[in-house]
A = this chain, B = another copy of it.
Amino acid sequence: MFGLIGNIKAVPGQRDALLAILLENAGRMPGCLAYVVAEDTADAEGIWITEVWDSAASHKASLSIAAVRDAIDRAKPIIAGFGQFIETRPRGGHGLAAIAPA
């Protein structure tokens, strides 16, 4: 499995709008076993995304999905910057979609 833990900074006052865009495609990306979008409780503009994919290839392919590209285009103007992006190798756990959406 392939995982990512990423931090995104929203433009001030735009975190809710950015969260909404980021959530649009959750569950609609082939090979995506988990995709959780969360607020950073210590940073009013901070967002954390934690992702698990069945493979790095599935993650890469997701970036070519029309709906995902459209969401990225709409998100860009309200993204102030990116913080940490940590690549992980998930070994298991709870809350991983049993069968990735086809």
Contact = CB atoms under 8 A, between A and B. Distances in A.
B42 A94 contact: no
A90 interface: yes
B41 A89 contact: yes
25 contacts: A1-B38, A3-B36, A3-B38, A5-B50, A23-B92, A27-B94, A32-B94, A32-B95, A34-B34, A35-B94, A35-B95, A36-B50, A36-B94, A36-B96, A37-B91, A38-B90, A38-B91, A38-B93, A39-B89, A39-B90, A41-B88, A50-B50, A94-B97, A94-B101, A95-B97
Interface of A: 1, 3, 5, 19, 23, 26-27, 32-42, 48, 50, 52, 86-97, 101
